[in-house]
Amino acid sequence: MDWFILQLLNGLDKGSAYALIALGLTLIFGTLGVVNFAHGALFMIGAFCAVTLSRLLSLSHQVVDETRTDFLGNPLKVDVPYAYDIFGETMGAAIIDWAVPLSILFAIPVMILIGVVMERGLIKHFYKRPHADQILVTFGLAIVLQEVIKYYYGANPIPTPAPSAFTGSFDFGAILGFEPGSIIYPYWRIIYFGFAAVIIGAVFAFLQFTTFGMVVRAGMADRETVGLLGINIDKRFTIMFGLAAAVAGLAGVMYTPINSPNYHMGMDFLVLSFVVVVVGGMGSLPGAVLAGFLLGILESFASMREVIDIIPGINQVIIYLVAIIILLTRPRGLMGRKGVMED
Amino acid sequence: MSKTNLTRRGVLQTGAVAGAGLALPTYLSAASHSGFTNAPGDSSVTLGFNVPQSGPYADEGADELRAYELAVEHLNGEGDGGMLPTFSSKALEGAGILGRKVEYVTGDTQTKSDAARASAKSMIEKDGAIMITGGSSSGVAVAVQALCQEAGVIFMAGLTHSNDTTGKDKKANGFRHFFNSYMSGAALAPILADNYGTDRKAYHLTADYNWGYTTEEAVRSSTEAMGWETVGQVLTPLTQTDFSSYITPVLQSDADVLVLNHYGGNMVNSLTNAVQFGLRDRVVNGKNFEIVVPLYSRLMARGAGANVKGIFGSTNWHWSLQDEGSKAFVKSFGTKYGFPPSQAAHTCYVQTLLYADAVQRAGSFAPCAVAEALEGFEFDGLGNGPTLYRAEDHQCFKDVLVVKGKENPTSEFDLLEIVEVTPVSQVTYAPDHPQFAGGSLGTCNNGA
């Protein structure tokens, strides 16, 4: 039973990232009708917002330590963060330690701005073009963005740890009556799952309970009629693009302590997230969330040695296999709407 | 219905004329190239540096390129000479190679076999490169080595650790200075036994490609030979980024050691995930749980950050070595670039010097003459102690370093500490060892 709970937790954790990225993807598709292959790059840029803030907070000046030598035998130059000078060593160290959570505040305006600029500057010119053109241009944009990041940050992963208070693991086993230590799960992954749940809930609440959200939903259902009522739906859709970029960016920020960010991390998630969107149903927000968690859990169980021993390689194909089965039985995906991508 | 007038004599005559016609350009070409591919002129010689300039190993490629530029500088008599004064062979005098100034062209392998072959082909055919060197992956090394064999140029491998490069995929025109998976296992096993005991249960997570297989095989056979039991083995996709679902079964098993046969981004992520899941704080079978990373790279250790602390692995070379050759190289590289060289930079620098030295000693750029000069060549002063380029498989045999993640690093480069310099005798194997079975060197190809 303990193995089941552990793999379920893993699945929920993986599903959190899939759901957050897929949510933004399907939001953009549902509002603007654009298949955005640059969405994974937005997830990656969010992660690099955390790297950037972490580096800004750690900006240092050098002090020569005569008692130690560097690799060339010269007196060692030790980096002393300016934060230590400004806030004192204890407070300065705490601020640097909390760089990832602080990056949330930094990433929200940055990601909204990037989203709006991306939509106004490039993507709006492709609204009436075929989906193939949209895929080509957004995929090209994704490559440009990742090469820019690689140029400035290098190709290697950059460690961006969670605050030291959250680096340990939580013992679920002791609480659930199992042997202590049998079900342990990292604090940060639990936080990530909780964070994803809050963001998903906030996006749904925003769309469901605000006037802005109501107009956006109406626009998703019938753009022309909403336009005829004198409502500038394009402006609202641009804001939704910025919002979707912020959701992807925040998913990236919080992901950095789980895996050290690198320039390629967006591409690693992109294809899976598209499968999630298609399985959930193009343009369906609940579908994206449901499919994200479903595929995350399935992938997690398929990675178990006992399963791989029975069906070798199943861990690598399970998501695509399930996608084929679902699309064969429900061509519009789990919660897809009639008429979407069917013209 | 048409009637054909084919006769035996007619076919033979036509065939002979056509054959002569086809052979003529080849004959003229061979004559103009002194009998081998890309024979240099009197003033300069071009080397081809094929390194990952884009893709996941671009930083490692950049370090390789720095080392190559330094080697060219030293070969041409510029700079401080680096390892030339410490190299036991005194054939090189800083006057180029056989009096020709060394020039170079670069290619981008992208860490993709097809791209690496294309860039190597371009450097050979368009730029006239007489030797190809570099790379950060065994897949690329094997692919480019085969191309160089066909083209008739020498291939001096860069960072490639799979047994197959000088095992089943070895080629007469290819040479490897870097160590291999077998050597990692042979060097690591006694240290692991000393530190963790001989009664251990190991679980392997292995990258699902050629290098992963050979590394797992090598570490398994070495550790099992000293009493360890392998209780689990799972292949992980090369594209995997989150290893949590592969780590949790380890928690459920009775393993007390996790061996991560991963490199690059895979290693950074799997190690980070393993530490996140508290594996290093666990006690299983009454013993502290341990993690082992068979192949360490400083550039990768930087990515994993504090997670590497106290974790054993092996490496080909490290900048903190105190022999005269290493000190000279670190000083030269550090003065020029401001930081110490990586093991990838070291092996690439050394390979360039070894090639140049072999040409100088052979008195010819002809690949077969160079290969003959390298085969069985014994040397010292290049950072790994006395070394042999074995004739049977073109693999260098030298000391191997066992390292451990440093507890208190003083800088971002000071991440590993040397635990032991494993003597060459302990990592030497017979040319027909089962882990290197299959394949043959074949015969040297001069091309042209």
What CATH number is given to the structural domain containing A7? Answer: 1.10.3470
Residue A164 has pLDDT above 50, yes or no: yes
Asked whether the beta carbons of residue A264 and residue B300 sit closer than 8 angstroms, the reply is no
What is the chain A residue with the closest CA to B297? A156
Q: Which residues of A touch B208 (CB under 8 A)?
A: 316
Question: In sequence order, what are the residues at sequence separation of 6 or more whose Cβ sits closer than 8 angstroms to the Cβ of residue B17?
Answer: none
Residue B33 has pLDDT above 50, yes or no: no
Beta strands in chain A (DSSP E): 60-69, 75-81, 169-171, 184-186
Q: Which residues of A touch B248 (CB under 8 A)?
A: 3, 6-7, 10
DSSP state for residue B97 in the 8-state scheme:
B
Beta strands in B22-114 (DSSP E): 44-51, 101-108
Sheet of B396-397, strand order: B377-379, B387-389, B396-397
Residue B27 has pLDDT above 50, yes or no: no
- Report if residue A14 sits inside a domain: yes
The CATH number of the domain where B90 resides is what? 3.40.50.2300
Check if A258 contacts B (Cβ < 8 Å).
Answer: yes
Asked if residues B265 and B243 have their Cβ atoms less than 8 Å apart, the reply is: no
Query: What's the pLDDT at B295?
Result: 95
Burial (0-12, 13-18, 19+ Cβ within 10 Å), B252? middle
Q: Which residues of B touch A71 (CB under 8 A)?
A: 319-320, 330, 334, 339-340, 411, 413-414
- Report if residue B384 sits inside a domain: yes
What is the chain A residue with the closest CA to B329? A72
Distance CA A28, CA A274 (A): 12
Asked whether the beta carbons of residue A158 and residue B303 sit closer than 8 angstroms, the reply is yes
Q: What percent of chain B has pLDDT over 90?
A: 75
Q: Which of residues 309-348 of B touch A (CB under 8 A)?
A: 319-320, 330-331, 334-335, 339-340
Check if B285 contacts A (Cβ < 8 Å).
Answer: no
Give me A245's structure tokens: 């970029």
Q: Which of residues 201-230 of B touch A (CB under 8 A)?
A: 208
Span B338-358, pLDDT tens digits: 999 999 999 999 999 999 999
In which domain, by residue range, is A8 found? Answer: 2-60+101-329
Q: Which residue has the higher pLDDT, A223 or B196?
A: B196
Check if B232 contacts A (Cβ < 8 Å).
Answer: yes
Span B42-99, pLDDT tens digits: 999 999 999 998 877 888 999 999 999 999 999 999 999 999 999 999 999 999 999 9
| Rounded average pLDDT over A218-228 | 83
pLDDT band, residue B32 (cuts 50/70/90) = very low
Distance CA A227, CA A144 (A): 34
Element (H, E) at B314: strand B312-315
Query: What's the pLDDT at A237?
Result: 86
Beta strands B154-157 and B283-284, pairing class: unpaired
Mean pLDDT of chain A: 89
| Rounded average pLDDT over A138-162 | 92
Span B269-310, pLDDT tens digits: 999 999 988 898 889 989 999 999 999 988 788 888 889 999
- Report if residue B445 sits inside a domain: no
Report the DSSP beta bridge partners of residue B396: B389
Give me B98's structure tokens: 């056989």
- Report if residue B298 sits inside a domain: yes
Q: Which residue has the higher pLDDT, A220 or A101?
A: A101
Q: Which of A177, A256, A176, A196 is nearest to B276 (CA)?
A: A256
Measure B368 CA to nearest chain A CA, in Å: 38
Question: In sequence order, what are the residues at sequence separation of 6 or more whose Cβ sits closer than 8 angstroms to the Cβ of residue B64?
Answer: B49, B51, B134, B136, B158, B159, B344, B345, B348
Q: Which residues of A touch B410 (CB under 8 A)?
A: 68, 70, 76
Asked if residues B348 and B64 have their Cβ atoms less than 8 Å apart, the reply is: yes
Q: What percent of chain B has pLDDT over 70?
A: 92
Substitution target in A10, A64, A144, A160 with the highest count of B β-carbons within 10 Å is: A10
Give me A196's structure tokens: 């994803």
- Report if residue A127 sits inside a domain: yes
Distance CA A107, CA A249 (A): 7
Total domains in the fold of chain B: 2
Q: What is the largest CA-CA distance in chain A?
A: 76
Residue B15 has pLDDT above 60, yes or no: no
In which domain, by residue range, is B289 found? Answer: 182-315
Mean pLDDT of chain B: 91
pLDDT band, residue B16 (cuts 50/70/90) = low
Same domain, B195 and B164: no
Span B385-408, pLDDT tens digits: 999 999 999 999 999 999 999 998
Beta strands B387-389 and B396-397, pairing class: antiparallel
Question: Range with the lowest mean pLDDT among A140-144, A289-293, A335-339?
Answer: A335-339
Length of chain B counted residue by residue: 448
Check if A13 contacts B (Cβ < 8 Å).
Answer: yes
Nearest to A10 among B58, B245, B300 (CB): B245
Total domains in the fold of chain A: 1
Nearest to B245 among A185, A265, A300 (CB): A300
Nearest to B303 among A14, A159, A306 (CB): A159
Same domain, B327 and B238: no
Same domain, B324 and B175: yes
Asked whether the beta carbons of residue A299 and residue B245 sit closer than 8 angstroms, the reply is yes
Substitution target in B241, B280, B412 with the highest count of A β-carbons within 10 Å is: B241
Distance CA A279, CA B20 (A): 64
- Report if residue A76 sits inside a domain: no
Nearest to B242 among A14, A147, A308 (CB): A14
B439: left (phi over 0), alpha (psi -120 to 50) or beta: left
Asked if residues B91 and B147 have their Cβ atoms less than 8 Å apart, the reply is: no
Asked whether the beta carbons of residue B278 and residue A150 sit closer than 8 angstroms, the reply is no
Question: Range with the lowest mean pLDDT among A173-182, A256-265, A314-323, B272-281?
Answer: A173-182
Asked whether the beta carbons of residue A265 and residue B414 sit closer than 8 angstroms, the reply is no
Distance CA B46, CA B44 (A): 7
Residue A209 has pLDDT above 50, yes or no: yes
Q: Which of B310, B298, B239 is nearest to B274 (CA)?
A: B310
Q: Which residue has the higher pLDDT, B335 or B16?
A: B335
Asked if residues A245 and A24 have their Cβ atoms less than 8 Å apart, the reply is: yes
Nearest to A7 among B248, B306, B340 (CB): B248
Asked whether the beta carbons of residue A303 and residue B242 sit closer than 8 angstroms, the reply is no
Length of chain A counted residue by residue: 343
Span A60-78, pLDDT tens digits: 999 998 888 888 888 888 8
Asked whether the beta carbons of residue A159 and residue B242 sit closer than 8 angstroms, the reply is no
Span A180-208, pLDDT tens digits: 777 889 999 999 999 999 999 999 999 89
- Report if residue A66 sits inside a domain: no
Substitution target in A271, A303, A310, A318 with the highest count of B β-carbons within 10 Å is: A303
- Report if residue B24 sits inside a domain: no
Query: What's the pLDDT at B8?
Result: 52
Report the DSSP beta bridge partners of residue B233: B204
Residue B1 has pLDDT above 60, yes or no: no
Query: What's the pLDDT at A141?
Result: 94
Asked if residues B133 and B51 have their Cβ atoms less than 8 Å apart, the reply is: no
Asked whether the beta carbons of residue B58 and residue A262 sit closer than 8 angstroms, the reply is no
Q: Which amino acid is at A153?
A: Y
What is the chain A residue with the closest CA to B237? A316
Substitution target in B57, B80, B245 with the highest count of A β-carbons within 10 Å is: B245
Give me A301's structure tokens: 């169980």
Residue B26 has pLDDT above 60, yes or no: no
Measuring CA to CA, how many Å separate B55 from each of A87, B109, B280? 40, 9, 32
Residue B4 has pLDDT above 50, yes or no: no
Asked if residues A157 and B268 have their Cβ atoms less than 8 Å apart, the reply is: yes
Same domain, B310 and B205: yes
Q: Which residues of B touch A58 (CB under 8 A)?
A: none
Same domain, B175 and B48: yes
Entry pTM: 0.85
- Report if residue B217 sits inside a domain: yes
Query: What's the pLDDT at B31?
Result: 36
Report the DSSP beta bridge partners of residue B66: none
Give me B428's structure tokens: 């030497």
Query: B233-247, B302-316, B372-386 — which one is most confidently predicted on average?
Result: B372-386
Element (H, E) at B11: helix B8-32
DSSP-derived 3-state class of residue B371:
helix
DSSP-derived 3-state class of residue B426:
helix
Residue A56 has pLDDT above 70, yes or no: yes
Asked whether the beta carbons of residue A169 and residue B251 sit closer than 8 angstroms, the reply is no
Identify the residue whose tokens are 């020709």: B100
Same domain, B310 and B334: no
- Report if residue B429 sits inside a domain: no
Check if B410 contacts A (Cβ < 8 Å).
Answer: yes
- Report if residue A322 sits inside a domain: yes
Picking from B267, B300, B315, the residue at the C-terminal end of a domain is: B315
Residue B155 has φ and ψ, to the nearest 5°, of -115, 120
Asked if residues B369 and B360 have their Cβ atoms less than 8 Å apart, the reply is: no
DSSP-derived 3-state class of residue B345:
helix
Residue B23 has pLDDT above 50, yes or no: no
pLDDT band, residue B30 (cuts 50/70/90) = very low
Same domain, B277 and B335: no
Check if A72 contacts B (Cβ < 8 Å).
Answer: yes
Same domain, B324 and B306: no
What is the chain A residue with the closest CA to B307? A159
